[in-house]
Structure formats: C-alpha cells, structure tokens
Amino acid sequence: MLCNRGRPPYPTKVAFQGEPGAYSEKCLREMLGQDVIAVGRPSFEDVFRSVSNREADYAVIPIENSLGGSIHANYDLLLRFELFIIGEHDFKVEHSLMALPGTKASEIKQVLSHQQALAQCDNYLRAMPGVERVPTYDTAGSAKMIAEKGMKGCAAIASELAAETYGLEVLATNIEDDHVNFTRFLLLARQPVGVFIAPPVPAKTSVVFTLPNTAGALYKALACFSLRDIDFSKIESRPTSAQLLQYLRYQLRSSGSGAGGAGGGSDDLPRFQYCFYLDFLAAELDDAAQSALAHLREVAPFMRVLGSYPRQGQLVGPVRDTLEALRRQARAAAAGKGSAAAAATPSAAAAAAPPAGARRLNIGVVGFGKFGQFIARAFARRGAAVRGTGRTDETAAARAMGARFYPMYEQDEFFRGLDVVVFAVSILSFEEVLRNIPAEYLRGKLVVDVLSVKVHAKKTMLDALPGDADILCTHPMFGPESGRAGWQSLPFVYDKVRVGDHERASDFLAIWEQERCKMVEMSCELHDEYAANTQFITHLMGRILGEQRLAQTPIDTRGFQSALRLMETTCSDSFDLFYGLYKFNAHSHETLRGLRESFAQVERQLAAKEAYMAAKADMASEERQRILAEVRGLLREAARAGLDAAVQTEYAGMRAIAPTAAGEGEGQGGEGGATIEGELVPEGDAADAEVQSHTDIGVQSAAV
C-alpha cells in the first residue's frame, strides 16, 4: 500500500493519441476521472515519447479491438520504449452522429469520420440515401473540422465527448452496427506497480519473448506456465523488424542480463523473426509466476515483462493515490475549503509547493550533518519551514537553503511549534539522542527516523516517546551520492507505526512523492528481513573485497569493475554504519552465519573437486596398468604359441631332410635339450626366457 496523500504532488498529465474529445480521451476519463490533465498527441509514438521524456506522467493507448483485432504498431512501441503497463480498461465504443446546432438529419450531405468508424456504422449510413462518406484521420478531428469551419450539411461520427468539446449537436447515438464493440486500453507509466499488487486483487502480467527456430520451441515456452497451472488470456505472434531485434539484442548485451542466448550466435537474422506477446492471469511476484518466468528465460533468447497490473480496471500504487488526492482536493474546493483555483482543472500552478489548502509544515531535523542537510534541502524546496540542530555549527549551510540552525543548548526554541521532528543521526547514537530529549518537547508531534534498520528504531520510539506523539519509521534507500541527480524512482520505505493525525503524515510523505521517490509502505519487521540481503550482505561483501586491496588492472572485466564499484561505495561509508546494520538487525546475524557456511560449502566443493580429479587420475593410472598387464599376457601367449609353432615346423623340416641323423646323434644332447643336426632345441626355462623376450618387445610396442 501507499500513503493516502492529502494533495496531488504535481499536475497529473495523461497523454493520449488524437484530438480532444477522441475515444481515447473518453476512455481516459472513465478510467482516471475528470481531475487529471488530458494531453492529446498527434501519433502513438508521440504519446510514448511524451511519457518517456517526462512531459506526461501516464499514457492511455488502445491495444486491441473486439472487431478490428490488435493494434500492432503499439505492440512495437511497447518494445521500443521502456514503459510499463500499470492498468487496463475495456472501453465500450459507442458512435454518435453530430452536426452544427440546428442541423436536421435530412439536411446531411456528407458524413466525416475515421474510415474504421464509417465501416462500423455501415448499416446506419445505408439508410441515409445520397450521403457521401468522407474518410478523415480522426473521429474527434472530424467534429473539430466541422465546428471550426462551420461546415453546414456535414456531420461527424465521433464520441459524445467530442460533441460536448466542440459544441456540436448530437443527432443520433449508438449508431454502430455491432453493439458489442469494445477496445482494450492500456495505462502506461515509467515505473511498474507489480510490487503493490497483493491478494485478493486479481492480476494480469504481460510479457514479450522470442524463440529459437527449433522444433517444439513454442510448446516448451507455453509449458513453463501450463505446468504451473497459470492460465493465459491472450497470446499472439507478430513479425518484428530485424533492426528492432538487433537493438534488443544489443540492449541485452549492454545490460549483461544473459537471458537465454540473446547475446550469442550469428548476427544474421532470418527474414521473418517473430515476437510472441503473452498475457497470463497471475501477478509477476507470485511464486508460481516467478518460477515460470525464470523457466521462460532459459528457453527464450529474449524476454521482457511489459507489466504486471490489476485486472478489471482496478488501479494500485502511485496512480491510485494520486487520483484519490485529486478527488479529495476537488471535494474540498467544492465545499469552499480550498481556493477557487483548486476547484479548477489542475494546471501548472498546482506544481507550486505547498498547494492551496495544504498546511505549511514546520520540520525540524535533529542531526544536521551531510545526510540531514541533504533531506532538509528537499523539505525547504517543497515549501516547508525547516530548522536544523546538531553538535557542530551549521548556520551557514542552513542559511544557504533557507533554513535556520539552532545549537544544542537552544532546544526550547528549536522544538517550539514544530509539526514534524526528523532524526537524521547514526544508528549507534539514535537511542541516546532520543532519550536525552525531554519527552514534553515531542508531545503531539510527528516523530520520524531515517535509519537503515527499522525494528530497532520502532521499538526505541515506542518505548521512549509519549503516547500522543505520532511515529513514522522511514528509510530513504539513497544518499547524497546516489540521489545527487534526483530522487526519481529511488525507494522510500515507510511504516506508519502510530499515526493519529493522518493529514499531517500524508503532507510529510507527499514531500517525498513530490520528489518522485518510489514509495513503498512496508512493516519494519519485513524491511529488516529484506535489508539483511539488500543492504547488509552488500556492505559485507564490499568490506571483504576492501580487505583484499583490489585495484584496477589493464584487463578488468565488467564483473571485476562492478566489484570495484561495490568496494568503493561501501568502504566510503563509515564503519559505524556497517556495524549498526549488523548490531541492530537480527537478520544480519543469520546472514553472516549463512555466508560463513556458504564460504565453507564452496571450499568443500573445491576440495571435493580436487579429490575427484586426483582419484580420477589414480583410477586412470590403475586402469592403464591393468590394460598393459592384459596386453602383456596376450602378447606372451601369442609369442609362446608362435615360437612353438616355429620350432615344430623347423624340427619337422629337418627330420624330413635327414631322417637318419636323429639316430646317429642320439645321446649327444645331454640335459641342455634335444639336438637337431648338432643344434640345441630349447626346452623348459630356456624356452620361457625366449618367449619372455618376444613378449617384452611386444608390450613395449603396445605401450608406445
């Protein structure tokens, strides 16, 4: 949830395509009400660009029609411009026939409108014999043309809002042939609202992705959702230009997202490359949706979440709170509680702070150091009367921003008449500073802390503050360095721990919204649970890298450069801040213990891999020895068999040549073996030795 603001922080401009009175503006009014500023643009691209360039806060665009189908140009623009879908509205198209006041239907000779509107009223126009159909660029533009040029005998087909805008008389309503004619419009913004969607709000998420040209690729992509029982409401494919896909691939490479294979492969694209647009019925942050999207990233070369938003025309997040504030302002103006200007449509004058009818807050900042002055400048910029106090004299700095500085010994003067007291001191000194301030100084005031740990601040204030003091725990998740270029989209977390004066709390929170922070209402307990990872582990890793004395090298990778930036950013903060993140966040202790276990686990994995590689080498050596032994045995057997055969052959040959020699030489061989023609024939160990010599030669050859 977000705060319910007491006023809109700035004029809320919503861009649409077309002239004033167009169907897009009528849809815009149905969706957002009468208190926003509708800004017409000549083309859809101009609509997207106006939001991207901050000329408008939101945009309303048509994306599909129940009769005409999808508006493909807007799908391409969703890819080109990094805007997010934050809402949808099904708009019923109702065509009206209008002309100059006093004109009768029988006097109409020409009917002007957009070609699609003329086609959708074909049956009605056929009943008007002799009437010429004149296609124009826009339905509301046709009404504007007739009004400005005083075109008698001409009528326009447009919305009733167009007739009201240009002072035309409506001759007939609901003249469309098909009365079930709906156009689905999308509400776009620069920041997503998925984080604000919580049960039981029904949600929808839109994604776009490409697929490799392989069999079953689409089936695998859709299975990511169907296997998790996530239903679809729309899927379609569209050929996308090679230039756009090349840009998307370059964008992925630059961001280092590593999604799928978008960064690899050949740069040559097929002639027809398709993007798939999918709407599924779940919030992006649901566990099942998170798993499905992670799975999809594995199979899709490119994937982007276009937005996660409520269904059925509901609104959440900043846009909802802005509309509520605008409605309250309009009611107050109508009741005489605001100025006459406040009752009018918001204009540029509404940007001045504070707006008409709102109180001018008196804000005191305790701890007027670097961060205290940083936020005090924003308070002063937004019209608050700012005071500062601290241990060192910062009179000059306070005067430069239009504030007033009080030394610590002038506490009576400092606290007198304050609406809000902001403690911008360190985590370690917070409790001591708070308890040293007399309780009567804080009675009836809104007391705010800006510490990086929240449960500690909450418990301390509940224990130390008087019961009539309101308590607002906040954490601006940025500082003078990260917020130097502005606070746009930087997270501001807050928890209304104890608030009696809601209007005052809303006025204070509106200052941060005026600076366009990303407002996140979150309990102190949940904040600290998240912060143990988002903050403490970041500072911890930066400190560890700092102990390594890392420095730039000629061959730095992007990952190493990121590590250097992390080290420099975290080590530039005081060690007291790091210690405070550890000391006063119980989850940080668990994070540190888990990190130790993770380091040990990684070391065990490395040791296990080393042991595996050594065992693998030993097994390979043993296997080699076994194979060599087998080869040696086989060669020995082969050598023995070959030698025996040779001896027998030679012996048989000699007997054939000298059949009587054996008898004459009988008894001359002795124990050394038989003789053939005076030669010794090897037997027993002598024969084995000769076989072994042949075997060794064979084994050596095999080993080589």
Per-residue H/E/C for 192-256: CCHHHCCCCCCEEEEEEEECCCCCCHHHHHHHHHHCCCCCEEEEEEEECCHHHHHHHHHHHHHHC
pLDDT score recorded for residue 259: 44
pLDDT score recorded for residue 347: 37
Asked whether 59 and 88 are in contact (CB, 8 A), the reply is no
329, 334, 337, 340: CA torsion to nearest 10: 90
Which residues on adjacent β-strands are paired with residue 574?
none
Kind of pairing between the strands at 96-99 and 169-173: antiparallel
DSSP state of 269: P
578: alpha, beta or left? (left if phi > 0; alpha if psi -120 to 50): alpha
Helices of type H across 573-684: 575-583, 586-657, 661-664
Backbone angles phi, psi at 677, to 5 degrees: 50, 45
Helices of type H across 445-574: 455-464, 502-514, 524-531, 537-547, 558-572
The number of angstroms, rounded, from the C-alpha of 171 to the middle of its chain's C-alpha atoms is 50
**Residues in Cβ contact with 549 at an 8 Å cutoff, skipping those fewer than 6 apart:** none
Catalytic residue, chosen from 183, 460, 570, 695, is: 183
Catalytic residue, chosen from 185, 196, 368, 415, is: 185
Return the closest-CA partner of residue 52 out of 248, 188, 184, 243.
188
DSSP state of 45: H
pLDDT score recorded for residue 576: 74
Please state, in angstroms and rounded to a whole number, the distance separating the CA atoms of residues 455 and 584: 8
At 99, which helix (H) or strand (E)? strand 96-99
Query: How many Å from the N-terminal Cα to the C-terminal Cα in the chain?
Result: 77
Burial class for 280, CB neighbours closer than 10 Å (0-12, 13-18, 19+): buried
Asked whether 283 and 321 are in contact (CB, 8 A), the reply is no
203-310 and 359-522 share one fold: no
Residue 183 a catalytic site member: yes
Residue 322 a catalytic site member: no
The number of angstroms, rounded, from the C-alpha of 283 to the middle of its chain's C-alpha atoms is 13
Return the closest-CA partner of residue 19 out of 124, 146, 116.
146
Burial class for 272, CB neighbours closer than 10 Å (0-12, 13-18, 19+): exposed
pLDDT score recorded for residue 346: 42
Backbone angles phi, psi at 59, to 5 degrees: -140, 145
Length in residues, the chain: 704
233, 239, 241, 245: CA torsion to nearest 10: 50
Q: What is the CA radius of gyration of the chain?
A: 41
Q: What are the angstrom distances between the C-alpha of 456 and each of 139, 451, 527?
A: 60, 9, 11
CATH topology (fold) of 359-522: Rossmann fold (3.40.50)
**Is residue 354 reached through a cis peptide bond, with omega within 30 degrees of 0 on the bond before it?**
yes
Return the closest-CA partner of residue 534 out of 485, 473, 493.
493
Coil vs helix vs strand at 685: helix
Domain boundaries, the chain: 96-175, 203-310, 359-522, 531-584, 605-655+674-703
pLDDT score recorded for residue 266: 43
Please state, in angstroms and rounded to a whole number, the distance separating the CA atoms of residues 252 and 265: 14
> Please, how many CA atoms are within 13 Å of residue 268, restricted to the half-sphere of its CB?
0
pTM, to two decimals: 0.50
At 502, which helix (H) or strand (E)? helix 502-514
**Residues in Cβ contact with 484 at an 8 Å cutoff, skipping those fewer than 6 apart:** none
Asked whether 51 and 17 are in contact (CB, 8 A), the reply is no
Question: Which residues of the chain are modeled with pLDDT < 70?
Answer: 1-10, 242-272, 334-359, 532-537, 569, 572-573, 577-578, 580-581, 584-585, 658-704
pLDDT score recorded for residue 242: 66
pLDDT score recorded for residue 601: 85
Return the closest-CA partner of residue 681 out of 668, 693, 672.
672
Return the closest-CA partner of residue 421 out of 467, 377, 361.
361
pLDDT score recorded for residue 341: 41
Asked whether 345 and 35 are in contact (CB, 8 A), the reply is yes
**Residues in Cβ contact with 194 at an 8 Å cutoff, skipping those fewer than 6 apart:** 205, 283, 284, 285, 307, 308, 309
Please state, in angstroms and rounded to a whole number, the distance separating the CA atoms of residues 36 and 29: 8
Return the closest-CA partner of residue 95 out of 143, 63, 128, 37.
143
Asked whether 33 and 89 are in contact (CB, 8 A), the reply is no
Residue 140 tokens, joined: 């509301």
Backbone angles phi, psi at 313, to 5 degrees: 75, 5
Helix axes 370-381, 502-514, angle to 10 degrees: 100
pLDDT score recorded for residue 466: 94
Q: Where are the beta strands (DSSP E) in 341-465?
A: 362-366, 385-390, 404-407, 420-423, 446-449
Residue 263 tokens, joined: 């960064």
Name the architecture of domain 96-175: 3-Layer(aba) Sandwich (3.40)
Please state, in angstroms and rounded to a whole number, the distance separating the CA atoms of residues 582 and 576: 10
DSSP state of 8: -
Q: Which of the following CATH numbers is that of domain 203-310: 3.90.580.10, 3.30.70.260, 2.40.50.100, 3.40.980.10?
A: 3.30.70.260
